[in-house]
Structure formats: structure tokens, C-alpha cells
Structure 1
């Protein structure tokens, strides 16, 4: 079996060498370009002093060399940029394997939603989160789709299985995937929301689709060009006609500025991004995929006439480049006064939009979906021993062997077995402070989230049915809404009960239920909640310090099993094994911990 870290290290060295070689060539070509430019200068000087043969030859050769050096320099700059991106990708991969991913900058903090059924409690977003761990997306849509797969998981078993096949296939395509990431991250505006671009592509500008206007612009432009060329061919002057035509085109140019101002603004904003989309679409189209999910995505890049998306984007890119002449104001002005360039470009854009505009949104979604799946596939590549979950058709089912917390470093991770095989089954988890109760609940929830996203899970064997996940773990008060933590917890549990009452398949994770009230009310309230949820057919885990609550297992009307975590004391220290065992906890450590901080009056 391969070693992911070793493979990343090999690639890191390879791309470091490629980067240094490309950087050296860039510096040499920059110097060569300067020498060629000096050759042009000296050639011009020789011509000035009437050394015509030597000066002309020097000028011509130097100019050709200067152009060639510019072309080669741009290619080497691109190679250097690509090598640097690949180098950083592999360095980041090594950090991820070594547990240093908590330093990655994109945490998805803005997606933390306290009203979401589980995302805050399960550390889906924010510092040290699932998103921070696996995110490799580089576009707005890719990031958004990854967020969606973690917060609104797929519920179709067949579709999840297709995603599993796609993720496993992408894990084996490490070279293609890294180059895909590298190409994508090279754009300056990759995280811009493409919605304005999509809407622009889908909306019609009827003015530039008007047949009368199209032919009028073509006729005026042709007449102007002929009036400029014919005097050189047949010696007849058209000075007045040429002047009138140029003045007419100048007037049209000024009038048209208002008509295509927004288009220019859109092109300026997305110019580099459009070029980047072309490269990304080309990479997808050139790759062969075996899985059904990926093949369907790729097929969405070919229209009914057999035209590939990359070719259509290339046509758009050419038109955009033509309109970008405005970065040289003089050339932009001359081309418009002489040829009405902007009018012809707007006409070409409308023709392109009519043919391909409605497909842009789908193309960008395909790119984003490949980013999302590729991000999830890093889990498979980095952890080949993790299990691909088996989805079952039973209403409520969860069986896991050697299940661990996905975000913990392997040396810190303790794995446990767990089984929920019937409707209404509740596991009541008791144990001392810091014994592992909350971690177990998050372990179950996180692995289910990954399973529904189609990703591998941290277990040697994992079977589950499709269930809606609800949690009540990190419940805080809200001063603005005048809601106490206890009442906030009641509202969370109310949501769970309402969903279960609809007949939905529910898995709940309740941590230290009703900790915000007195022990008597907590015991009575927790007993009532567990009974109600169990009778409604919901399944889940409840952690508690209330050892008396464990007596609920004796109630024959409901299905509750007791499990616990324990600890031992060695040399005046607490030793936790974090192993889940049947039965009720026999130990407590609160008083011991109180004494540890220096409070002896007990």
C-alpha cells in the first residue's frame, strides 16, 4: 500500500526543482530580452548614421529575437507559476497529514449557522473544522457546493453510491487532480461570485440582435475601410466621403459607449477568470472518467451539436480579448473610429450568447462539482485504510467497528465499536468529566456527515441508513433575543421532536441534556425527552453526568442501553482510556479535579 505522505514529499521535491529551473530560465530570458532590446536601439542608431545594411540587419534580427524572447519568457513564467502552485499544494497536503491543517486560512467561518441542525456542534465550519481540513476548492461555486454537501447531504442511496465511486476514482487521479487545483488557483478572481457573469450570459441585448443594425454597422465599416484603401490602389481620392464616414463612425462610437458600458465592466471583472475557465474545462474534457457520476458531469460539457464547452469559452475569450484593446486607449480609439470594433464585438457577443449563453451556469457548476468531489477525495488518498460506508435501506441503522474521530491526529485517536440496529434505540452514555462522552457523539455525527457526502469514514467497517442528524451540544444563551441557554436547549429539542413527529428518520445527539437547570428538574426532563423520542422511533446518543438517569434502561416501554467511559488513577493522576464499555459508569472525578486546582475545603 502506498504511503500518502511519502508520495507528497516526492512531488514536493519534483515541483521545487521545476520551479527553480523555470525561475532561472525566466531570469536568463529577461536578460536576453534586454540585450535584444539594446540590439534594436543600436540597429536604429546605425540606420540613423546611414550604416544601412548593418543597421537594417541588426534591427531586424534584434526585433525578431526580442519577440521570441517575450513569447518564451511568458511560457516560462506560466511554467514557474504552475510549478509554484503544485509545490504549495503538496506542502499543504503534507501539513494536512501531519495535523498542521488547523493553520489553513480558509475556515469557512462565515457559514457557521447556530440554527443549523448540527453544523456548529459537529465543527463543520470554523477553526479546527471539517471544512478547514478538507477544503481545496478555488472557485466560488466549488466552495459553495462543498458547503452544501456537508450541511445538506444527499438522501438518495443510489446517488451517494455514485458519489462514492467518483470520489474513489478521483483519489487515484492524484496527478490530474493536483494540476486541476493548480490551474484553478492561478486566477486572481477565482472566488468572485459568477452569478453576474451567468446572468449577463443568459440575458439578451436586443439592440445588438437587431438585423437592421447588424447590417448597417457592417456596411458603414466596410465603406469606411474601402474609402481608406482605394486611394492607394487606384489613385482616386475620397477625402470628403472618408471624412464623413469617419465622423459618422466617431459619432456612433460615442453614442454606443452607453450601450456597452456594462458589458465592458463585466469583461474587465471576469477577463482573467474566463481564460481560467477555458483551461479548467479543457482539462475536464481531456480526461477519461469511468464512474457514472463523473461521466455524467463531463457529458454536460458537450452541447447537442457536439461542441465542447472549452471551445465555446475560447470563442468568448477571443471576443473579450478584442474588447480589451481599451487598455491601450489610443489603439482602442483608432480601431473604433476606423472599424467600429466595439459594435462588431457586441454583435459577436450577442451571437455567442444566443448559442452558448444559457450553458455557462452549467459549465461553472461542473467545474465546482469537480472541485468539491476532488476535495473529498483527499480523504480517500490520505487515509486508504478508512472504510467506504455501506448504505442500507432499513429505516434506522448504524453499525461501526473501530470508529474514530476524523479530525483527531492518528496518534491521539481512540476507536470504538457502536451499534444501533432498531427504531427507537437510544444509547445513554455516562462517564466522568473529560472521559470522552462529547467526543463520541461528535465522532458518530461527523462520520455520518462524511458518509452522506460520499466520502470515506474513520472506521474499519461502517454501515448506516439515511437519517437526518440533529444535535444539542453547544447551546448558548442569546442576550439580544433574551433567551437563556436552558431555553435555547428546549428550542433545539423541540425542533427534534417536531421532525420526529413528521415520521422522518432521525438520529439525535444530546450532550449533557438540560445542564442549565437543577438536578431534580434535569433528571425529570431528560427522562421525559428520552422516552418521547424513543417512542417516536428516533434513535440517538445521550451523554449525561446524571448516573440516576441510567435507571431508564429498566423501562420496558422504551429501548435504552447504558454505556460508559471510565478512568483510573495512577500516581495521583487521572488516566483515561476513552474506550466505550457496556453498563453504567462506576467512577466520578469532579471532586478530584476540584482538589487539583487547590480547593481542599471539601
Structure 2
């Protein structure tokens, strides 16, 4: 089972972290021992005037520095292992309902216009977005929300996305490695506003210094070093060297504010540069056999994003060193260090800044593909839908189940319809609404290029309209019933454009009396039954089932029903042809203790 892979991988990650932590603790002891040995040996050598002791003390110092670097590498490895544990645990949580606690649920993309997102659980708490999101950057999250909300693309574009998702789904280890690295990106770049601020700072290519200042920045450090060397050799007075040191330090102090402001972006994203370098390196070195190659080429052209980000990271590390007061004094007096960092940063921006937005957008596409491939890793029964460019809208499903239900408890249903209206009746809690959402959310996944939970699923591109979770609006004086009327009106108006539509209406006009409801529902069904539409309407009003016979409209009746065993109610959640013949409201009222 697929869950075993993640359980075993998580157990290995915990074991590797324990080994890593043991090595870190061992090195901590060795560092202390090396440092103490160095002090003792140096003191003994100083007391005995023994040069061999000085040599041994230097060896201890070298070993001490080596241990520091080794320990830092181990700590980085530990960070990666902890991130791997987080990613693997999230996959395990998707096999149960623990994924409901994931912090990323896409609620920030909900608006009053994205009604289908609420009705079909696309965004927000316990949503499809929350379930499959493997995006960590603002661009990746935004692309995932667009993929779930936007109107369907052409069948060719969708097929291209499917190929990319399938390619990445087969690369299990690569996908996990990418998510491990992405998970280490700082949270402050998680919003689009923060990302735009980051890009604006990078893309600002205003001139840092004029020709005269650049000349002095280039020449003064050379003259300073030469004057000090000549002073040491006695060629001329060493005081000239001191004058140059004073001039350079004075220049650095005079321009301290400007340099600090100019170099500030480097310090603000210093930590994430190293992660981006590793992320881009991982993608650049991967072998893809799908449209992902086209995305990969955007990162590998002109030397590659990894190489250029590495260069910026080195500039950032150099700029960070100015935070040490002793180093600031020494480096600026000798080399005009701040100016050198600023000039290198300026050169990098002039050569590369225009590519950064493309890199982040490309990374967002990879994150979108990672997210859509999540279902391939956690579902045993899935299929990539067939997107048909049929002139008539079509939905064909074999053993289709709701993607957000646990696989071992989800009940699958089959259906084949073509430009028709389906009226679905059934008892309370029998599965009508879940079935409508299964059709809707599976269509959304199909249009996004993702797999669905079915043996087979064929659908034509259609604009999705829903009326399920209707809410009133006190501030606007809109009741629940009127809010539903507005939804239905929007469907009717859009229908006049003759564009393909998939319409899902749950318990139509339930907010009014039965007589008016039947009249309004019947007229709505007449208006929404068109050659360019597939309409699903669930209802408790059996009168609507007679429309197919009385008006000869292309309407098909389906139903769900309950059964009783030992005076207990049960549901099989299977879609059946025809009108429902049973009701269970009185039984449920008795169960609740009301009757």
C-alpha cells in the first residue's frame, strides 16, 4: 500500500536524525577538547619557549575550525531531516482526516464571486486546496487557486498539464526532495505582496554610483595596499599608507547610510537565497520527459538560475560580514568593502534581475504540478480524465468517488449523460449532495490537469455553476431564498450565451413554500435544459420528476434511497435510475428525539 512508503520513509528520517544528533553532540565535545588542548599547549610552549608546541597549538586550532564547519554541515543536514519529517507526516495525514489541520487552505482566495469554491469545497477549511497543496511560495499558491477556479482551458492544454503531472508523479523521491527544500523557505515570502516587494527590490536597477565615484572605488584600495607595502619596505614613509586608510574609512563612514540602504535587500533575503539555490539545482539536474522540460529550460538557460543565485548568495554573505564591527573597520579601511559589495550587487542586478520573476513564476508552475500530483501518491484508484472536444457537453464516469473522502469508505458511482438535465431525488442523508459535489470537484480536477478518483472519467470543457451552500447577507438585506434566486438568475443569464455549462443545484428553492418552490423549480429547469448544458438538480419534490414525461424535455430521473435492517436505517449511497419511492424524515425525527 502507498501508505507504507511514507511510514517507512518517516521512520528512516527519524532514525537518520537521531544518528545526526549523536554526531553533533560528539563534535561538541571534541570542539571543547580541541580548544582546551590548544590553550594548554600554547601556554606550555610560551612558558618553555618551545616552537613545537606552537606548531601543535596551530594544529589544534585547525582541527577546531574543521570541527566547527563539520558541525554546521550536520546541523544543516538535521534541518533537512526535520523538514523531511514534516513533509512525510503531511502525506500520512492525508490518509486520515488529520489534513483538516493543515494551515494552508486557500481561504485568502475566496471572494463573493467564487461561489463554486465554497459549494464544492475547493478553497477554505476542509477543502481540495488544503488537501493537495504542496506549494510554499506565493506564486505556487496563487497558481493552484487559479487552476481550481478558472474556466477550463483547451483539451490540448489540459492534456499537456496531465503529462507534466504524470511525469512528476512517477518521480516520487524528486518530488519529496523538492517539497523538503521548499518547506525551508521563510514564511515571510508566503504572500504575494511580500514576493512582489522582494522582486521590486531585486529589479530596481538604478545607478549606484557615477563614473568618478566608481573610479575612486576601484583605484583607492590598490593605492592603499601599495602604499602600506612600500611603507613596510621603506620605499617611502608609512604615514602615506595611514592617510589612505583614513581617507577610505572616512568615505565608508560618509556613505554608510546609502550603502546600508542599498545593501538592505541582501540581508532581508539572505537565508532564502541558499534554499533557492538548492531548489533550482534540484530541478535543473532532474531528467524530465514531458512538458516539464520546457519549464526546466527557463531555469537552465544562460548558465542556469542555480549558478546566478549562488553568485548573489556569495555577495550577500560578503555584505553580511560588515555587521562585525572589527571587520567593518578593517575591510573598509583597506578595500572600501561596502562599496565593493554594492558594485557587485549592482552588476548582478543589471545582468540577472530581469530573470528572477521568470524563475519564481517557473517555480510556481512546478509547485502547481507537485500539488496536482499529490493524488497520485496517496490514492490507489485514480485515473487521468479524458477531455473530449465534443460539440455536445458530456460527462461519463465509471466508479467515480469523492476525492476528499477516505478511499476505504468512499462509495463509487457510475453515470453517462450527454446534454441533458438530471433530477435526483432521495431520502435525507442518502448521498445526493455528495454525488453532486463528486461530479463538480472531479470536473474541476479534470480541467486542472489532475487525476480523479475513478476507473474512467470523460468530460468536455464546461463552465461550472453551482447553487448549494447559500448564505444570507444581512448587511445587504438579502435572504437565503433571494440569494439563491440571484444564483439561479446568473445561470439563466449566462445560458443565453450558448456556452457549455455544467450546472449543479442542490435542493432547489428549499427556502420557500412547496407550492411556489415547485412552480419556480419547474420553470428554472425548463430554462436550464439546453443542448449546451448538463444540469443536475437534487430535490425532495417528486412533482419535478414528471417534467420529462409531461413536457418531453431531455430530462432523466435518478435517485438514492435507504433501507432498514432490524428497524435501523442504512444507506448504500448508490445512484439508481428513476424516481425515489421512499422517505425517511419521520424516522430521522424519531432518532433525534423530536417525535
2:204 corresponds in structure 1 to 203
Whether the aligned pair in 2 keeps the contact of 1:43 and 1:58 (CA below 8 Å) is yes
Structure 1 residues 63-462: aligned runs within 5 Å: 63-152=61-150, 154-189=152-187, 191=190, 193-208=194-209, 210-239=210-239, 241-291=240-290, 293-303=291-301, 306-395=302-391, 396-422=393-419, 425-462=420-457
Q: What is the CA-CA distance between 1:471 and the residue it aligns to?
A: 0.8
Aligned-partner Cα distance in 1 for 2:482–2:251: 68
Aligned-partner Cα distance in 2 for 1:482–1:297: 49
Partner SS state of residue 49, structure 1: helix
Partner SS state of residue 119, structure 1: helix
Aligned-partner Cα distance in 1 for 2:345–2:157: 38
Structure 1 residues 40-59: aligned runs within 5 Å: 40-59=38-57
Aligned-partner Cα distance in 2 for 1:312–1:97: 40
**TM-score for both structures, normalised by structure 2:** 0.95
Alpha-carbon RMSD: 1.9
Sort the Cα spacing of 1:255 and 1:581 in 2 relative to 1 into closer, same or farther, 3 A. Answer: same
Q: What is the CA-CA distance between 1:86 and the residue it aligns to?
A: 2.0
Partner SS state of residue 300, structure 1: helix
Partner SS state of residue 126, structure 2: coil
Q: What is the CA-CA distance between 1:430 and the residue it aligns to?
A: 0.7
Aligned-partner Cα distance in 2 for 1:18–1:532: 64
Whether the aligned pair in 1 keeps the contact of 2:468 and 2:506 (CA below 8 Å) is yes
Aligned-partner Cα distance in 2 for 1:367–1:599: 56
In structure 1, runs of 5+ residues without a counterpart are none
Paired residues, what number? Answer: 591
Sort the Cα spacing of 1:382 and 1:597 in 2 relative to 1 into closer, same or farther, 3 A. Answer: closer
Aligned-partner Cα distance in 2 for 1:156–1:78: 45
Worse-matched range after superposition: 584-593 or 86-95: 86-95
Whether the aligned pair in 2 keeps the contact of 1:153 and 1:453 (CA below 8 Å) is no
CA deviations on 1:519-556 (whole Å, 9 max, x unpaired) are 11111111111111114732221111111121222244
Worse-matched range after superposition: 329-338 or 425-434: 329-338
Whether the aligned pair in 1 keeps the contact of 2:168 and 2:373 (CA below 8 Å) is yes
Q: What is the CA-CA distance between 1:244 and the residue it aligns to?
A: 4.3
Partner SS state of residue 401, structure 1: strand
Aligned-partner Cα distance in 2 for 1:518–1:88: 52
Aligned-partner Cα distance in 2 for 1:546–1:440: 18
Aligned-partner Cα distance in 2 for 1:122–1:501: 24
Whether the aligned pair in 1 keeps the contact of 2:263 and 2:342 (CA below 8 Å) is no
CA deviations on 1:115-149 (whole Å, 9 max, x unpaired) are 20410111112222112211222222222222221
In structure 2, runs of 5+ residues without a counterpart are none
Aligned-partner Cα distance in 1 for 2:541–2:295: 52
Partner SS state of residue 397, structure 2: strand
Whether the aligned pair in 2 keeps the contact of 1:535 and 1:558 (CA below 8 Å) is no
Aligned-partner Cα distance in 1 for 2:494–2:332: 64
Partner SS state of residue 411, structure 1: coil
Whether the aligned pair in 1 keeps the contact of 2:499 and 2:532 (CA below 8 Å) is no
Aligned-partner Cα distance in 1 for 2:340–2:108: 43
Aligned-partner Cα distance in 1 for 2:507–2:594: 25
Worse-matched range after superposition: 15-24 or 555-564: 555-564
Sort the Cα spacing of 1:357 and 1:307 in 2 relative to 1 into closer, same or farther, 3 A. Answer: same
Match of 1:487 among 455, 460, 482: 482
Sort the Cα spacing of 1:599 and 1:280 in 2 relative to 1 into closer, same or farther, 3 A. Answer: closer
Correspondence 1:538 to 2:533: yes
Aligned-partner Cα distance in 2 for 1:330–1:504: 71
Q: What is the CA-CA distance between 1:285 and the residue it aligns to?
A: 0.6
Sort the Cα spacing of 1:247 and 1:555 in 2 relative to 1 into closer, same or farther, 3 A. Answer: farther
Partner SS state of residue 85, structure 1: helix
Aligned-partner Cα distance in 2 for 1:146–1:334: 50
Worse-matched range after superposition: 464-473 or 254-263: 254-263
Q: What is the CA-CA distance between 1:197 and the residue it aligns to?
A: 2.1
Q: What is the CA-CA distance between 1:470 and the residue it aligns to?
A: 1.2
CA deviations on 1:448-470 (whole Å, 9 max, x unpaired) are 11111111101100001111111
Partner SS state of residue 300, structure 2: coil
